[in-house]
């Protein structure tokens, strides 16, 4: 079968893709920017083709996908910084229908949230609205409705991990007593692949969940138990939604906007009303504790396929990474370092590809951490996002408070764009090039200031740049990929 996969570079899409390939399907992956699509491993399978489309804009002709059999709709804007995400989600759904309506499509499969409560959060109400839009299209639609998804890299998992691993004692809002029915990512993939062109599921919505109904407090404590940690949680009734959002934002790696939406949703119980799909497909639900254990097996094997942060670029205020990939020169300040590589240039390239996250920045890590704290205090992303994999980098990945604009290992170039709070824009570029028979490391930091304050900012941090960027360039030459110099 030929399947259209939206959200192909997002958390669920990257996990579902290899499952569909293994089942023998041909895939057309919808992406906003083809440069973001991974170019290694399973993502290079010849059964994959790319279709560039932005569902928030006028959709292109569907002639190239006219023979698709089914489509997965995996688009949402929960982490978007825009206040009108409900309108954007509806617009996206309507444009999706406009694209696929003229094709041979027989089914749309939509992953959404459980919406059994009368009072829904803005996020869940928006998801319900999208379900209605897709359901009224005339195309048979199957909605799979889930609560918290437990898997390495999922937003809920990483937030619970941040809280449980960093805070021995937690003073928590009262929403930690809200009940939920967490489900393992493996079960979600079984449901998504299992309903494909299964006529019994057409024009129907199914709640899915794991075997455990738990409060968020119980999930935190059971997570800690799996990790061998002793944790104490005390609940207070006085923490407002705004304070709750700030609490999540400062303690975890989430953005503030996502924290607001999460807090809003966490006040609503998400419990499956039946287990019909589980019986229909013969799925064996995985317990919450087992799902946590399986997630850490992936983490410890450095085999995290996708992260919730992967989809941020599609919710980012700039729709294309290409908007920033050409580093400007006019009106910019720059710090350029060029050093001869006396040793193996491939070793230096490995060092570059290992930068950030737990590895650090090869010089003055404490200064980077202070900058991350200041960024969090200013409402930025901070350093907690880390990186998905310790050695692999793909275009579109997050790297602490940077976004990867270009990760071209063949041409030995890594280009990063700053997503921290700045009075301007910043780029950090690494290249390895050959001149006159010698290999050189070229490291360039570029800053385009906005207004007078942007220029003042550059001169204020200039003394730190001398030590940080000089030390980083020197240590990239000298450190092995597994051991950096401080």
CA atoms within 13 A on the CB side of 95: 18
Predicted local distance difference test score (pLDDT) of residue 441: 95
Round to whole Å and give the CA distance between 192 and 73.
Answer: 11
Which residues are within 8 A (CB) of 429 and not within 5 positions of it... i.e. 6 or more apart?
327, 413, 414, 415, 416, 442, 443, 444, 445, 446
Round to whole Å and give the CA distance between 13 and 356.
Answer: 25
> pLDDT tens for residues 191-210?
999 999 999 999 999 999 99
Mean pLDDT of 99-116: 94
Round to whole Å and give the CA distance between 373 and 365.
Answer: 12
Predicted local distance difference test score (pLDDT) of residue 390: 78
Task: Please report, for residues 61, 74, 324, 351, the alpha-carbon distance to residue 29 in angstroms, rounded to integers and kept in the order given.
Answer: 15, 11, 24, 32
Predicted local distance difference test score (pLDDT) of residue 78: 53
Round to whole Å and give the CA distance between 403 and 356.
Answer: 11
Mean pLDDT of 385-410: 82
Round to whole Å and give the CA distance between 136 and 114.
Answer: 19
Residue 384: closest CA among 398, 404, 367, 397: 398
For the ranges 107-111, 179-183, 260-264, 441-445, which has the lowest average pLDDT?
260-264
Domains of the chain: 2-301 (3.40.50.720), 318-478 (3.30.530)
- Give the CA-trace dihedral at 190, 195, 200, 205, to 10 degrees: 90
3-class secondary structure, 80 = coil
Six token digits for residue 49: 């083709």
Round to whole Å and give the CA distance between 182 and 287.
Answer: 9
> pLDDT tens for residues 421-437?
889 889 999 999 999 88
Predicted local distance difference test score (pLDDT) of residue 185: 93
> Could you give phi then psi for residue 399, rounded to 5 degrees?
-140, 90
Q: 305 with 14: CB under 8 angstroms?
A: yes
> pLDDT tens for residues 12-45?
898 899 999 999 999 999 988 787 787 777 888 9
Round to whole Å and give the CA distance between 244 and 262.
Answer: 10
> pLDDT tens for residues 163-176?
888 888 888 878 78
Round to whole Å and give the CA distance between 37 and 8.
Answer: 8
Round to whole Å and give the CA distance between 475 and 463.
Answer: 19
Q: 122 with 262: CB under 8 angstroms?
A: no
Could you give the angle at the alpha carbon of 116 between the alpha carbons of 113 and 120, nearest 5°?
Answer: 70
Q: 20 with 27: CB under 8 angstroms?
A: yes
Pairing of strands 398-399, 402-408: antiparallel
Q: 81 with 41: CB under 8 angstroms?
A: no
In the chain, what are the helix, strand and coil shares in percent, each to the nearest 5? Answer: 40, 20, 40
In terms of residues, how long is the chain?
486
- DSSP conformation class of 287: P
For the ranges 46-60, 162-176, 458-472, which has the lowest average pLDDT?
162-176
- DSSP conformation class of 175: G
Model confidence band, residue 470 (pLDDT cutoffs 50, 70, 90) = very high
> pLDDT tens for residues 54-84?
998 899 998 989 999 999 999 876 544 456 7
Round to whole Å and give the CA distance between 267 and 265.
Answer: 5
3-class secondary structure, 254 = coil
3-class secondary structure, 428 = strand
Q: 90 with 56: CB under 8 angstroms?
A: no
Round to whole Å and give the CA distance between 5 and 25.
Answer: 11
Mean pLDDT of 364-388: 81
Predicted local distance difference test score (pLDDT) of residue 102: 94
Predicted local distance difference test score (pLDDT) of residue 81: 47
> pLDDT tens for residues 80-102?
445 677 888 899 999 999 999 99
Higher per-residue confidence, 357 vs 145:
145
* pLDDT over 60 (residue 322): no
Predicted local distance difference test score (pLDDT) of residue 154: 77
DSSP 21-52: HHTT-EEEEEES-GGGS--SGGGG-TTEEEEE
* pLDDT over 80 (residue 224): yes
Six token digits for residue 285: 């639900």
Q: At what angle do helices 256-266 and 241-251 cross, to 10 degrees?
A: 130
Which residues are within 8 A (CB) of 445 and not within 5 positions of it... i.e. 6 or more apart?
334, 335, 426, 427, 428, 429, 465, 469
Q: 50 with 35: CB under 8 angstroms?
A: no
* pLDDT over 80 (residue 482): no
Residue 246: closest CA among 156, 375, 377: 377
Mean pLDDT of 105-113: 95
Predicted local distance difference test score (pLDDT) of residue 261: 65
Average pLDDT along the chain: 85
């Amino acid at each position: 079968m030929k399947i259209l996969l939206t959200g192909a570079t997002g958390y669920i899409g990257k996990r579902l893709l290899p499952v569909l390939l293994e089942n023998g399907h041909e895939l057309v992956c919808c992406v906003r920017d083809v440069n973001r699509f991974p170019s290694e491993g399973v993502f290079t399978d010849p059964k994959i083709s790319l279709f560039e489309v932005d569902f928030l804009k006028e959709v292109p002709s569907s002639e190239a996908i006219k023979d698709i059999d089914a489509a997965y709709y995996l688009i949402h804007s929960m982490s978007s910084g825009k206040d009108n995400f409900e309108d954007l989600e509806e617009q996206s759904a309507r444009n999706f229908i406009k694209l696929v309506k003229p094709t041979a499509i027989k089914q749309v499969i939509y992953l959404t949230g459980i919406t059994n409560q009368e009072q829904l959060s803005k996020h869940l109400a928006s998801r319900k609205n999208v379900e209605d839009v897709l359901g009224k299209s005339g195309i048979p639609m199957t909605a799979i409705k889930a609560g918290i998804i437990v898997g390495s890299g999922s937003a809920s998992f990483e937030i619970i991990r941040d809280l449980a691993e960093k805070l021995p004692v937690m003073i928590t809002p009262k929403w930690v007593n809200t009940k939920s029915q967490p489900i393992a990512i493996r079960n979600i993939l079984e449901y998504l692949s299992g309903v494909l062109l299964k006529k019994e599921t057409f024009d129907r919505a199914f709640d899915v969940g794991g075997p455990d109904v738990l409060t968020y407090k119980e999930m935190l404590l059971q997570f800690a138990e799996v990790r061998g940690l002793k944790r104490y949680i005390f609940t207070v009734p006085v923490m407002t939604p705004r304070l709750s959002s700030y609490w999540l934002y400062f303690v975890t790696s989430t953005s503030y906007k996502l924290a607001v939406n999460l807090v809003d949703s966490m006040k609503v119980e998400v419990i499956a009303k039946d287990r019909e799909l589980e019986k229909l497909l013969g799925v064996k639900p995985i317990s919450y504790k087992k799902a946590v254990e399986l997630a850490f097996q992936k983490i410890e094997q450095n085999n995290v396929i996708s992260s919730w942060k992967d989809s941020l670029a599609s919710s980012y205020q700039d729709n294309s990474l290409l908007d920033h990939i050409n580093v400007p020169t006019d009106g910019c300040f720059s710090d350029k370092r060029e050093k001869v590589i006396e040793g193996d240039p491939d070793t230096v390239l490995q060092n570059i590809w290992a930068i950030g996250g737990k590895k650090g920045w090869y010089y003055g890590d404490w200064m980077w951490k202070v900058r991350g704290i200041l960024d969090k205090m200013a409402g930025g992303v901070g350093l907690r996002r880390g990186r998905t994999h310790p050695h692999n980098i793909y275009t579109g990945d997050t790297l602490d408070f940077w976004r990867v604009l270009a990760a071209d290992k063949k041409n030995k170039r890594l280009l990063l764009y700053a997503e921290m709070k700045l009075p301007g824009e910043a780029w950090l570029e690494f290249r390895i090039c050959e001149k006159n028979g010698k290999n050189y490391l070229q490291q360039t930091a570029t800053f385009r200031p906005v207004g007078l304050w942007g220029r003042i900012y550059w001169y204020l941090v200039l003394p730190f740049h001398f030590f940080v960027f000089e030390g980083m360039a020197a240590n990239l030459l000298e450190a092995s990929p597994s051991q950096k110099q401080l």
